[in-house]
Amino acid sequence: MSLDAVRAFAARDLAALAASGGLDPDTSLDVVAAEWGADPQRCGRHFLGHPPAEAFWCPASLAGFDGTVRIWFRGDRVVKIEGQFPDLAPDDLHVLGPPEAELDYRRDVSVVAGGERLWASRGIAAKLNRSARQVVALSIFSATTVDGFTAGVRGTDDYREAAGP
Amino acid sequence: MTTSAAHVTRPTPAAAPTLADNRPDQPAGALAHVVPVAGRVTPVASPGDPGRTIRRAPSDFGTSTATTLKSGWGLLGIGSTPWDAILVAIRGYAALRADQYDQRVRSLAALPALLLAWERHHEIGTKAETDLKDDEKRKVTAIRELRTLLDREHRELATAGAKVDPRTRTIDAHRLTDDYLLEQVAKGHTTLKRDDQGLAVTRLQQALADLGHLAPGQVTGTYDAATETGVQAFQRANALPETGVLARPTMAKLVEAFRRHGAERRLATASTVETKPVAGEYGWGSAPDELTAGARDLTDPERAAAKEAVKTAQTAGPGGVQPTFVSDLPGRGRYEDRLKRLVLALVELEYDYLARGKAAKRNDDDLFGWDHIAVVANRAKRVTDAVFGQWSIGPALTPGVSIHDAWETKVEALKDVDVQDDAAVWRVTKLLTGNEQVRDLDREHGAIQSRGPEKAIVDRVRAAVVVAKRDKLLETHKAWPAFADAGVVNIQRFKKAGVAANRHEMWDLFQTVVHEYLHTLEHSRYRGYRETLGQQAGGFTLREGVVEYFTHTVLEAVDYNEELRAAVEGEFHEDGVTQPIPAYRGYGERANAEKLAGVVGATNVMAAFFLGDVEKVGGTA
């Protein structure tokens, strides 16, 4: 099992991330959790992919990310890692070359059209805000196709609210 | 409404009048056979004397109704006041066109009370038959025949998809509500009995099955011997005469049996399957069979009825007629003006109730502590698992993991101007599409917001309100009581003034977490299905309505003992003080979810939501 992608992600080193070939499919949850001080027992349940498939996640805190890092897992394997507000500028993404796809994603009540830039074959995705001036999230997963990303690990978030007063 | 699934039929004698030949330009219903409508010359048979026909001409109706009818209808000899009222009502009904469904429903609704009044006035049923005068005897016979005709009219209206008038609705158990024929049973206007068929029978059978008086496989839509036996068993259990017929007293008990979700709790916990040991869903098809022993496959009409039950859009009326949009209602005003005024007022109300002064209350002393919140969340999970733990369990909702501070999350999100714009629009849209007063206004004007002319108006109103109230909308967005995003539940932590008010808040949180925890138990296959449905086409009911249904099922079983009170109320708990538990409200789409259960059964809904067997609610994965 290689942790190259995991460590490049933590360092927000996009060149190293591109060279890593994506998250090793055998990446062990316990190993990553131990590396980052996360507790897999303190987890949430949600879905990834389309059609949605069950996945769990546990939070981690990493320097260089101004928000939570989620370690997504199924069984004892990590399937995706996503960190909120990485210390990266949109221009930093140029090192990855043109994205293979630009997908919509939801943020609070907003849908950001084409805001998720995807380099599926390298196992990397980055979400930009609507004006493309801020990198909102960075994620890694096992190298795949655009369809493979959508089917397997793309976020399936939907915003819900309690009923009104 | 699906007319093929909605009706109840009863074998009709060949000679009896029916509505089968009704056309919109014809008088309404079988009563036209008795009392023809003005403007038409029609020979009709007298119910008192089938061999005799009477003839009507428009000129006949130039005089008083009573005189007119008396002249032709041999039964009606005396113009006593109550009887005249009956005549007027019949004539009014008969004058309606067949496609004037709502008017027919209202008109028919008035008759039983009039008949009863006449019977009481003449002590029918109290005094001996031999004491009746000849005229009374004739009228008693006429009333008997009239009731048969009324019964037939109700069935024809049910066939056409007539709706229950919410203002006069008597059934208050959602799963049985809004079935036109069951409502007539509840009002004592008709009965269901042997050989009846249709969706009302299905609903009755499913109710009996959920109460354990009928096997799931015996839900057939036909009132057969098994149904009769099931009704008798239910009647026996409720100390009612064992007639096997669904009449008003039995209907009342049936409604009572489904008010507090006891049946659902029994079904949820009926199997001997142990509480699921590991968090997460059962893989598709891998759940123990015993869990779904009470589930059943659906027929095509039931699938159609299930899909209809979950819809929340204003639907077409009987006969597929869409409401007509009336832009300007005399004496009330223009739709656009009224809608704008209403939404502006609602924005102010929400702001005052939720957001005013909150921005200044972000000190630790003003906020509930996370440790206390964790205890409440844990208790909420425990009571939920006690009901549904055999079906699925999830990880606990944990502060810092899956529970966050709603205000903080929103403040962070609203730093982005793009999100601000969207949030302001969202808040107004939510009022436009979800507020009950707006729905009432839509109904009043016959407005369907997605339809061309109305959509243009609604878009203008939305834009105007966003501009006028942007700041307050954003503050309300931050202060919204709870929301979930990306699998994280966000709640407000603001303390209230006073110990009792804070106890109240803790119970409110307890209820919210039950609801939110249930959301986390949704099966992936169910989620995949509901995402294929538009919000108003059932998506919202399957998301929020079903969770509300299960939330009530859990909360109504909670034993609010001293130990639980001490845990949930924490620092605000006072020995000997029994805090009233707040009434749980939530989304009104629970009614649609329960209507769904009324057709397919509560176990089917559980099998769909927790196990992903969406075919059990009429879906396909």
The domain tally of chain B equals 3
Instruction: Judge whether B549 is closer than 8 Å to chain A, CB to CB.
Output: no
- Cα separation, B366 vs B194, in Å, equals 64
Inform me whether the pLDDT recorded for A80 exceeds 60. yes
Report the pLDDT value the prediction gives residue B316, as an integer from 0 to 100.
Answer: 61
Share of chain A above pLDDT 70, in %: 100
- Cα separation, A81 vs A62, in Å, equals 12
- On whether both B444 and B516 belong to a single domain, the answer is yes
Q: Is residue A66 very low, low, confident or very high in pLDDT (cuts 50, 70, 90)?
A: very high
| B385-414 residues touching A, CB cutoff 8 A | 394-395, 398, 400-402, 410, 412-414
**Cross-chain Cβ contact A162/B525 below 8 Å:** no
Q: Which of the pair, B475 or B419, is modelled with greater confidence?
A: B475
- On whether both B118 and B233 belong to a single domain, the answer is no
- On whether both B33 and B88 belong to a single domain, the answer is yes
* Spatial contact of A141 and A153, defined as CB atoms under 8 Å apart: yes
- Cα separation, B150 vs B33, in Å, equals 12
Reading the block at residue B492, the tokens are 């407000």
Inform me whether the pLDDT recorded for B79 exceeds 50. no
Q: How many residues does chain A have?
A: 165
**Cross-chain Cβ contact B480/A162 below 8 Å:** yes
Distance to chain B for A1, nearest Cα, Å:
26
Q: Is residue B7 very low, low, confident or very high in pLDDT (cuts 50, 70, 90)?
A: very low
**Cross-chain Cβ contact B280/A130 below 8 Å:** no
Question: Which chain B residue's Cα is nearest to A59?
Answer: B401
Average pLDDT over every residue of A96-117: 95
Report the pLDDT value the prediction gives residue B184, as an integer from 0 to 100.
Answer: 94
Question: Which chain B residue's Cα is nearest to A54?
Answer: B524
- Which one, of B227, B239, B206, lies nearest residue B604 by Cα? B206
Residues 6+ apart with CB under 8 A from B66: B76, B79, B83, B84, B87, B88
- On whether both B414 and B468 belong to a single domain, the answer is yes
Domain final residue, candidates B259, B291, B314 = B259
**Cross-chain Cβ contact A56/B586 below 8 Å:** no
pLDDT in tens, B96-121: 888 888 888 888 888 888 898 889 88
Residue A47 has its nearest CB partner, among B422, B480, B524, at B524
A110: chain B residues, CB-CB within 8 Å = 416, 418-419, 422-423
Q: How many residues does chain B have?
A: 621
Inform me whether the pLDDT recorded for B76 exceeds 60. no
- Cα separation, B474 vs B428, in Å, equals 11
Average pLDDT over every residue of B45-64: 33
Report the pLDDT value the prediction gives residue B165, as an integer from 0 to 100.
Answer: 81
Instruction: Judge whether B494 is closer than 8 Å to chain A, CB to CB.
Output: no
Reading the block at residue B363, the tokens are 């000190």
Report the pLDDT value the prediction gives residue B108, as an integer from 0 to 100.
Answer: 86
Question: Which chain B residue's Cα is nearest to A51?
Answer: B528
- On whether both B218 and B335 belong to a single domain, the answer is no
Report the pLDDT value the prediction gives residue B337, as an integer from 0 to 100.
Answer: 98
Average pLDDT over every residue of B443-462: 93
Longest dimension (CA), chain B: 88
Instruction: Judge whether A164 is closer than 8 Å to chain B, CB to CB.
Output: yes
pLDDT in tens, A135-148: 999 999 999 999 99
| B597-616 residues touching A, CB cutoff 8 A | none
**Cross-chain Cβ contact A44/B480 below 8 Å:** no
Instruction: Indicate the DSSP class of residue A121.
Output: G
Share of chain B above pLDDT 90, in %: 63
B430: chain A residues, CB-CB within 8 Å = 161, 164
Let me know if residue B320 belongs to a domain.
no
- Cα separation, B188 vs B173, in Å, equals 17
- On whether both B196 and B342 belong to a single domain, the answer is no
Q: What's the N-to-C CA distance of chain A in angstroms? A: 52
Domain final residue, candidates B160, B190, B218 = B160
Task: Please tell me the least confidently modeled range out of A135-144, B30-39, B461-470.
Answer: B30-39
| B463-482 residues touching A, CB cutoff 8 A | 477, 480-482
Query: How many contacts does A have with B, using Cβ atoms within 8 A?
Result: 117
Q: Is the peptide bond before A51 cis (omega within 30 degrees of 0)?
A: yes
Residue A52 has its nearest CB partner, among B353, B486, B528, at B528
* Spatial contact of B89 and B107, defined as CB atoms under 8 Å apart: yes
pLDDT in tens, B286-345: 999 999 999 999 999 999 999 999 998 766 665 566 788 999 999 999 999 999 999 999
Report the pLDDT value the prediction gives residue B81, as an integer from 0 to 100.
Answer: 61
Q: What is the DSSP string of B27-40?
A: BPTTHHHHSPPTT-
pLDDT in tens, B478-532: 999 999 888 888 999 999 999 999 999 999 999 999 999 999 999 999 999 999 9
Reading the block at residue B28, the tokens are 């309404």
Task: Using alpha carbons only, give the angle B242, B245, B246 rounded to the nearest 5 degrees.
Answer: 110
Residue found by looking up tokens 């730093």 in the block:
B415
Domain final residue, candidates B120, B144, B160 = B160
Average pLDDT over every residue of A15-23: 96
A132: chain B residues, CB-CB within 8 Å = none
Helix residue ranges, H only, B73-179: 81-94, 101-121, 134-160
Residue found by looking up tokens 């203002």 in the block:
B167
* Spatial contact of B209 and B270, defined as CB atoms under 8 Å apart: no
Average pLDDT over every residue of B553-569: 96
Average pLDDT over every residue of B69-85: 50
- Cα separation, B461 vs B466, in Å, equals 9
**E-state strands within chain A:** 44-48, 53-60, 69-74, 77-84, 101-107, 110-119, 124-128, 135-141, 160-161
**E-state strands within B29-106:** 44-46, 49-54
Q: Is residue B249 very low, low, confident or very high in pLDDT (cuts 50, 70, 90)?
A: very high
Report the pLDDT value the prediction gives residue B15, as an integer from 0 to 100.
Answer: 35
A56: chain B residues, CB-CB within 8 Å = 279-280, 395
Let me know if residue B423 belongs to a domain.
yes
- B497 to A48, B379, B572: CA distances (angstroms): 42, 24, 12
Tell me how crowded residue B102 is: count the other CB atoms within 10 A of its CB.
Answer: 15
Report the pLDDT value the prediction gives residue A117, as an integer from 0 to 100.
Answer: 98
B280: chain A residues, CB-CB within 8 Å = 45, 54, 56
**Cross-chain Cβ contact B401/A53 below 8 Å:** no
Task: Please tell me the least confidently modeled range out of A17-26, B16-25, B254-263, B543-552.
Answer: B16-25
Q: Is residue A164 very low, low, confident or very high in pLDDT (cuts 50, 70, 90)?
A: confident
B434: chain A residues, CB-CB within 8 Å = 163-164
- On whether both B353 and B252 belong to a single domain, the answer is no
Average pLDDT over every residue of B181-185: 95
Report the pLDDT value the prediction gives residue B318, as an integer from 0 to 100.
Answer: 59
Question: Which chain A residue's Cα is nearest to B478?
Answer: A108
Let me know if residue B268 belongs to a domain.
no
- On whether both B37 and B84 belong to a single domain, the answer is yes
Q: Is residue B57 very low, low, confident or very high in pLDDT (cuts 50, 70, 90)?
A: very low
Instruction: Judge whether A133 is closer than 8 Å to chain B, CB to CB.
Output: no
Give φ, ψ of B284 to 5 degrees. Answer: -55, 120
Reading the block at residue B349, the tokens are 């109300």
Report the pLDDT value the prediction gives residue A1, as an integer from 0 to 100.
Answer: 84
Q: Which of the pair, B225 or A109, is modelled with greater confidence?
A: B225
Whole domain around residue B179: which residue ranges?
164-259
- On whether both B472 and B578 belong to a single domain, the answer is yes
Let me know if residue B137 belongs to a domain.
yes
Residue A129 has its nearest CB partner, among B418, B434, B482, at B418
Let me know if residue B239 belongs to a domain.
yes
Instruction: Provide ipTM, 2 decimals.
Output: 0.94
- On whether both B100 and B57 belong to a single domain, the answer is yes
A47: chain B residues, CB-CB within 8 Å = 487, 524, 527
Report the pLDDT value the prediction gives residue B314, as an integer from 0 to 100.
Answer: 62
Report the pLDDT value the prediction gives residue B315, as an integer from 0 to 100.
Answer: 62
Q: State the average pLDDT for chain B.
A: 85
Let me know if residue B287 belongs to a domain.
no
B484: chain A residues, CB-CB within 8 Å = 159-161
* Spatial contact of B487 and B520, defined as CB atoms under 8 Å apart: yes
Distance to chain B for A29, nearest Cα, Å:
17
Q: What's the CATH code of the domain at B215?
A: 1.10.101.10
Q: Which of the pair, B34 or B21, is modelled with greater confidence?
A: B34
- On whether both B190 and B109 belong to a single domain, the answer is no
Read off the pTM.
0.85
Let me know if residue B117 belongs to a domain.
yes
Residue A44 has its nearest CB partner, among B353, B426, B488, at B488
Let me know if residue B469 belongs to a domain.
yes
- On whether both B226 and B87 belong to a single domain, the answer is no
Inform me whether the pLDDT recorded for B31 exceeds 70. no
Reading the block at residue B169, the tokens are 């609705």
**Cross-chain Cβ contact B401/A43 below 8 Å:** yes
Q: Which of the pair, B50 or B233, is modelled with greater confidence?
A: B233
